Amino acid sequence: MNHNDTICAISTAPGMGAIAVLRLSGPKAFEICDKIFKAAAKGKKIVDQPGNSIHFGRINDGEKDIDEVLVSVFRGPHSFTGENVVEIACHGAPYIQQQILKLLTGSGARLAEPGEFTQRAFLNGKMDLSQAEAVADLIAARSEAARRVALQQMRGGFSDELMNLRDRLLWFISLIELELDFSEEDVEFADRSQLRALVDEIEAHIRKLVNSFSLGNAIKNGIPVAIVGHTNVGKSTLLNALLNEERAIVSDIHGTTRDAIEDVVNLGGFSFRFIDTAGIRETADKIESIGINITYNKIKQASIVLLLLDAGDSDEKLHKAVEHIKSLIDSNSQQLLVVINKCDLSDTDTIVRRFALSEFSELSGSDGLVAISAKYRQNLDKLIAELLKTVDTRAIDSDEVIVTNVRHHEALSLALNSLLRVKGGLEQGISGDFLAQDIREVLHHIGSITGQISTDEILGNIFRNFCIGK
């Protein structure tokens, strides 16, 4: 990309709407706009207007008017990209948008590459790399929780924490490297006990960020919930009830579902990715057996395992099913929610007495249990409440930093490994030059998140996933 060019793009979503916005950024943004814009006030030129001002007029191709528009003027560096920026708000007909875009490119601008506006904002120091990535996350947010996490990161909360950690380590490495300049005098400028305390503090902080990724990834991509159980217990009926549509085939025939069916639904501000799986049973059918194996794989991948049981089954069958699923999940990282279905076929007193949590010795205090009727949508609100209990909302409510980006998680994990080497080196009393090397690695990995250390390859991978116009 040539960052001295003036770029343009349609910044609103494709299709027809009431209005659309075209964005122009670069050194000749004002001059190019003046070639096609005729202000309502006679003689007014965009190039002469102050920043943060809006002007009414017409877009004209030299022969006829294309549309009446509002032109917003932003003078660099006080703009999104840090350059001179013009935003043209026109009527939303796709034909009008394309005609204006054609006039802009014919007047000296070129079409922007995906993410090029945000990339220029990064290169011009308007935001760091993690904030730029948060812009894409905010655009793609599918739930209130995802929006809040992305907005908090875009405002620099994550960057501020990393910068603080990096600055404190930089102070110590400067002292250690000063020691190397006076190696013959055998002096020690960096207090090793203070460095050890700092390393312990930073290790705890980075470890917390690394561990937050499981929650952050679930918030960003949807919390995976595997709906499992025997055949014909109502798994597909429950999925349809939660989605409010006939997404999965429902039949009295055992083994109808032979593959995993996934869909996402927003509940209480969080996205849950429900996975309807093949019923678990002994079968000689090869295709159904493949589906059952997929079920076991989905159980391993799920954050929440929703075990659906039939209220009409015997106590022995119910307890065996709970015991079997408990043996398959990791109680430290996965949540089990037992759901008794078809409770419309039993009276209320029987349900309360028979399906109390205390009646299932296989379940622990962290497991959940709720009785419903998926067919008649009874107690679905209680099921949703149990699902929301499994989400740790405290971190979101307190605006704690939550890592949602795979690249950030990888960099933090590498920084943590390097930090552990620093810690081991301090315990072994190794020389300052080896300590300095390990600290440099920590700084490198932290700096790669914010873009203080970056390569063209990293930038290309990040910004090519943006939409054009952003």
Domain boundaries, the chain: 7-126, 132-212+402-451, 222-392
Number of H helices, E strands in the chain: 17, 13
Residue 449 in marked binding region: no
What's the mean pLDDT in 368-375? 88
Cα separation of 46 and 24, whole Å?
Answer: 13
Span 136-155, mean pLDDT? Answer: 86
- 254 labelled binding-site residue: yes
Residue 124, annotated as binding a ligand: no
pLDDT at 443 exceeding the cut of 50: yes
Average pLDDT over residues 137-160: 85
Lowest mean pLDDT among 21-30, 72-81, 206-215, 238-247: 238-247
Ligand-binding annotation for 403, yes or no, is: no
Q: Would you say 390 is a known binding-site residue? A: no
Pick the CATH number of 132-212+402-451 from 3.30.43.10, 1.20.1730.10, 1.20.120.430, 2.70.70.10: 1.20.120.430
Angle at 286 (CA atoms; ends 284, 292), nearest 5 degrees:
90
Q: Is residue 208 annotated as involved in ligand binding?
A: no
- pLDDT bin (cut points 50, 70, 90) of residue 282 is low
CATH pick for 7-126 out of 1.20.58.340, 1.20.1050.40, 3.10.20.340, 3.30.1360.120 = 3.30.1360.120
Ligand-binding site membership of 450 (annotated): no
Question: Is 327 one of the annotated binding-site residues?
Answer: no
The pLDDT assigned to 360 comes to 79
Distance CA(443)–CA(351), nearest Å, equals: 59
pLDDT at residue 183 above 70?
no
Give the Cα separation of 158 and 148 in Å (integer). 13
- The reply to whether 85 sits in an annotated binding site is no
User: Does 365 show up as a binding residue in the annotation?
Assistant: no
One fold for 132-212+402-451 and 222-392: no
* pLDDT value at 284 more than 60: no
For the ranges 48-62, 155-169, 420-434, the maximum mean pLDDT occurs at 48-62
Give percent of the chain above pLDDT 90. Answer: 30
Give the residue among 352, 395, 397 at the shortest CA–CA distance from 371: 352
pLDDT per position as a tens digit, 301-335: 888 999 998 888 888 888 888 888 888 888 788 88
Q: Is 333 annotated as a binding residue?
A: no
Mean pLDDT for the stretch of residues 95-99: 96
406 in a labelled binding site: no
| 413 annotated to bind ligand | no
- Annotated binding residue 386: no
Tell me, what's the pLDDT at 4?
84
The pLDDT score that the predictor gives to residue 36 is 96
The reply, when asked if residue 330 is annotated as ligand binding, is no
Q: Of 3.40.50.300, 3.90.1170.40, 3.40.50.10490, 3.60.21.10, which CATH number belongs to 222-392?
A: 3.40.50.300
Residue 249: predicted pLDDT: 43
234 labelled binding-site residue: yes
The label of the residue with tokens 């060019």 reads: 5
Q: What is the predicted pLDDT for the residue at 455?
A: 64
Over range 173-192, report the average pLDDT: 60
Contact 58/67 with Cβ under 8 angstroms? yes
Spatial CA neighbour of 221 closest among 151, 142, 292: 142
Q: What is the mean pLDDT of residues 436-456?
A: 83
What's the pLDDT at 251?
43
Pick the range with the lowest mean pLDDT from 34-38, 209-213, 358-362: 358-362
Q: Which position has the higher pLDDT, 72 or 162?
A: 72
Q: What is the pLDDT of residue 245?
A: 67
pLDDT at position 124: 93
Confidence of residue 397 (pLDDT cuts 50, 70, 90): low
Q: State how far the Cα of 300 lies from the Cα of 224, in Å rounded to an integer.
A: 10
On average, the pLDDT of the chain sits at 83
Q: Say if residue 257 carries a ligand binding annotation.
A: yes
Instruction: Give the pLDDT band (50/70/90) at residue 255.
Output: very low
Task: Output the pLDDT for position 247.
Answer: 52
Annotated binding residue 203: no
- Residue 448, SS3? helix
For the chain, the distance separating the N- and C-terminal CA atoms, rounded to the nearest angstrom, is 15
Q: Is 433 annotated as a binding residue?
A: no
| Mean per-residue pLDDT, 336-349 | 79
The yes-or-no verdict on residue 163 having pLDDT over 90 is no
Question: What's the confidence (pLDDT) of residue 180?
Answer: 59
Q: Structure pTM?
A: 0.72
Percent with pLDDT over 70 in the chain: 84
